[in-house]
């Protein structure tokens, strides 16, 4: 009986020891990969240009899809609101965010330009997930190399809206403040390789 127990213990040790070794090695590799990814994210500060893509295709605006929101505004207006949204309002929101973003990054001491630069090595994808009636805007931010499908990291940005003004003015306040938060998070990425807004690494 004792001999059998001894053999079982010995067998368990031969199984457990390699598993522990593999787990330790995996943790070491993960740590090295995270360190390499952070160093890569920090190196983005040396880029001249970074492409910024703006995506509102899945946004919920005032509790509705973008298409439904635009339709309701269009039928309630004497103007061609749908055309104004596509050609004026929506581009102005992106312009407001980018303006604040670039200005603050320059004030932080960086010479990187953020905008529509398709030939840039890196891309920041801004996916609008929600815009509240106050104009408060929620964005999911994805950072990646232009030629890669896999993202380096992603994080959440929230831009608080305003109190007074038209719907578009309130949205403009939200997007400008989102630009401020995005600049702070990008500063953190450039300095530490990490963001603070519920960051996820891939």
Helix/strand/coil percentages in the chain, nearest 5: 55, 20, 25
As a CATH number, domain 40-201 is: 3.30.160
User: What pLDDT is attached to residue 34?
Assistant: 83
Cβ neighbour number for residue 17 with a 10 Å cutoff: 10
pLDDT block averages, 10 residues each, the chain of length 202: 54 50 49 86 96 95 95 93 95 97 97 96 97 96 92 94 92 97 96 74 43
pTM beyond cutoff 0.85: no
User: What whole-number distance in Å separates Cα of residue 193 and Cα of residue 185?
Assistant: 10
Domain ranges for the chain: 40-201
pLDDT for position 23: 40
């Amino acid at each position: 009986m004792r001999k059998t127990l001894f053999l079982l213990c010995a067998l368990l040790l031969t199984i457990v020891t390699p598993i522990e070794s593999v787990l330790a090695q995996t943790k070491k590799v993960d740590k090295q990969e995270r360190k390499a990814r952070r160093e890569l994210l920090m190196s983005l500060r040396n880029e001249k240009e970074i492409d910024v893509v703006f995506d509102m295709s899945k946004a919920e605006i005032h509790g509705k899809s973008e298409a439904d929101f635009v339709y309701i505004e269009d039928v309630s207006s004497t103007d061609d609101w749908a055309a104004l949204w596509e050609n004026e309002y929506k581009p102005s929101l992106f312009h407001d965010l980018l303006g604040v973003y670039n200005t603050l990054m320059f004030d932080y001491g960086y010479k990187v330009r953020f905008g529509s630069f398709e030939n840039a090595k890196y891309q920041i994808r801004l996916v609008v997930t929600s815009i509240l009636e106050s104009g408060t805007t929620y964005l999911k931010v994805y950072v990646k190399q232009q030629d890669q499908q896999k993202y380096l990291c992603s994080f959440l940005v929230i831009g608080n809206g305003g109190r007074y003004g038209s719907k578009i003015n309130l949205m403009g306040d939200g997007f400008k403040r989102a630009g401020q938060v995005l600049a702070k998070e990008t500063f953190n990425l450039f300095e530490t390789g990490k963001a603070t807004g519920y960051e996820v690494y891939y």
